[in-house]
Structure 1
């Protein structure tokens, strides 16, 4: 009887990665509604009573191949962790299960060489994908910074000011403008849609005025840029642009982000200093600092209007609210929710609460009593009620 062959943890992980499709279908099997999009496999979490596809995802290609996340619970890991999650195993038992799956208990020299080659090829592909993704991210960050720098620093008198005022956000009354916001007179809106019947790609490419916002990573670097495209609406005022999809005719989102904004934030207010005036940068905030985090820019600016003394950030997306980089002196976070009652949105908000709480912060949430109403909706409603009175 031959001696039991030994393999390092990394060797086992590389071999699993070389068979990633078989691994994920074994330990996170397809369910009703499962799908794969751009290298991401969405299915039910095999380790809990997951009722709907959407929050559990496994990367099956690209630089993060083999990594998975459950945005509803905050869980994440690699393929060994996936095996442990699926079967309810400890990590040592998960490694034993991985060995059995790979057939390493009874491996001939020829099979060993073939599997070593497959694992080496998979590792090389992963490293190349990581290099390509890193270079692509750097390129997008440079493009994002160039867009923001090309925009006008002052938004007073521009379509941006008129758009925000139409949302009851009066920066002149506030007495200051967030430095992260700028006005770009002509910004390219580009969208492509594939016709599902013919496979033909239809393109929309127009230039429109836009509100642009710098997204920083907490280290003073602009890593992405957010753009809100504007146009004169039926009211005769600047509103979010209404651009129809060339295939479906549905109105396309008028907001786009260029660059990787994971963990990033748009700083919209540093609050007040101890003697009045502008507060110190967030990176130098005093111990016990409270920070308000909203999903979108308009919601965050509504918080600034209502609480000028507060530190307010926009997280860009609900999934990023728990990932926003904050210094250790931040002791309390108030998450301003948009009132979305969709199960995935509820799960993402819960994950954000848990993520901040896990870092020792007190966490509170603001939610309107009216379902589906965000803070900007509430601000506009209050302003209209005042006018009626």
Structure 2
């Protein structure tokens, strides 16, 4: 076995070799910290390149076609700072440029001086990783398309008129009277028999039933339906409609990353219904709440004049159309570190897009804005009784 001088590899080949050993790369250059965890193939830990205070905004994709990609939503959309690939991760850890990262990567992979057999093995590993990544990408694209089509079918199958349905009764129980809106939020529909499926990873238990459901279309910034949000409903012990007694009464079908639920369009210039957000005039301002109930509560508390959307999740990197010049983030009274990190990430993301960002903290009490609405309604009813 003859030793050969240092082999010449392209940057892409070195990246593929690093991805093939991603667990070891991550352990070395983005080590675990207090609160580190892996969720849905994403490994969350502290950003190794800055004074990160808590786990929540920095994550690395450990599986799938984007394996090795990382994002820091608290930093913004700046390559090498807010996101990057596996080689950028090394540069982030060392605080060096691409040349320094390549030197470190070659040393990590043992590419400085090795045999011809070693060179062949490394190239084979890189080709294998490239083939697997292409196969995973194709499979993921096919699965996403199927799930998106199923999500659209569920929403289109829903009943548009909500008055008198379990959805209407459920919302009234949350202090949200649809008659106060003047017009029904068109994004919400009622499905009398909606399939529910839940798999408990810890116990292996599968729950599969049908429930009435409130369904909402999740759209992208161009107004296209990309996913479907379902709130499963059931009668409680008192005969009132509430969330179904299942492990997760709210579920989303299909990939909703970047999307949002356009709950309310506000009031048009002549008092009518204004156009959709992506078709509106530039300079729009949007109120953003996490959940549907909070977003509907905001519409009522603001008098129906403002545009309001639901983000579905605190960590969802919502992408808004260029017509939006400013956002008001509706924050829960939640002081947890993950909630704070998610809020900071949303603020950074919209500021990086050049938008004015305001915060609206619930000052009425309760955990979220829907709690606040119910408190306001209770006080109004008490005054009416006096």
Query: Pick from 253, 259, 267: which aligns with 1:272?
Result: 267
Offset of residue 53 of structure 1: 4.1
Counterpart position of 2:237: 234
Counterpart position of 2:64: 62
Query: Pick from 5, 8, 12: which aligns with 1:6?
Result: 8
Query: Equivalents in 1 of 2:34, 2:334: separation in Å?
Result: 24
Corresponding position: 1:380 with 2:374: yes
Query: Pick from 137, 144, 148: which aligns with 2:151?
Result: 144
Counterpart position of 1:105: 112
Corresponding position: 1:154 with 2:157: no
Q: Give the secondary-structure state (helix, strand or coil) at the position aligned to 1:381.
A: helix
Counterpart position of 2:322: 328
Query: Equivalents in 2 of 1:388, 1:179: separation in Å?
Result: 32
Corresponding position: 1:18 with 2:14: no
Counterpart position of 1:303: 298
Corresponding position: 1:206 with 2:209: yes
Residues 194 and 201, structure 1, Cα contact 8 Å, conserved in 2: yes
Moved more, 122-131 or 232-241: 232-241
> Which 5+ residue runs of structure 1 have no aligned equivalent?
244-251
Q: Give the secondary-structure state (helix, strand or coil) at the position aligned to 2:315.
A: helix
Give the alignment's Cα RMSD to 1 decimal: 2.0
Q: Could you give the per-residue CA deviations for residues 254-301 of structure 1, whole angstroms, max 9, x where no partner exists?
A: 100000000111111111111110011211221221111111001111
Offset of residue 72 of structure 1: 4.1
Counterpart position of 2:278: 283
> Which 5+ residue runs of structure 2 have no aligned equivalent?
77-81
1:76-225 alignment to 2 at 5 Å? 76-195=83-202, 201-225=204-228
Q: Give the secondary-structure state (helix, strand or coil) at the position aligned to 1:44.
A: coil
Query: Equivalents in 2 of 1:208, 1:92: separation in Å?
Result: 57
With over 3 angstroms needed to count, the CA separation of the structure-2 counterparts of 1:32 and 1:364, relative to structure 1, is closer
Counterpart position of 2:49: 47
Offset of residue 187 of structure 1: 1.0
Residues 194 and 210, structure 2, Cα contact 8 Å, conserved in 1: yes
Offset of residue 35 of structure 1: 4.1
Q: Could you give the per-residue CA deviations for residues 43-92 of structure 1, whole angstroms, max 9, x where no partner exists?
A: 33322344554443222221221012234444322111111121222222
Query: Equivalents in 2 of 1:59, 1:357: separation in Å?
Result: 25
Q: Could you give the per-residue CA deviations for residues 77-113 of structure 1, whole angstroms, max 9, x where no partner exists?
A: 2111111121222222112211221222224322111
Offset of residue 11 of structure 1: 1.6
Moved more, 227-236 or 175-184: 227-236
Query: Equivalents in 2 of 1:54, 1:324: separation in Å?
Result: 16
Corresponding position: 1:351 with 2:349: no
Offset of residue 209 of structure 1: 0.6
Residues 73 and 348, structure 2, Cα contact 8 Å, conserved in 1: no
Moved more, 170-179 or 43-52: 43-52
TM-score by length of 1: 0.91
Q: Report 1 or 2 for greater relative contact order, CA contacts < 8 Å, sequence distance ≥ 6.
A: 2
With over 3 angstroms needed to count, the CA separation of the structure-2 counterparts of 1:334 and 1:9, relative to structure 1, is same
Residues 227 and 253, structure 2, Cα contact 8 Å, conserved in 1: yes
With over 3 angstroms needed to count, the CA separation of the structure-2 counterparts of 1:278 and 1:132, relative to structure 1, is same
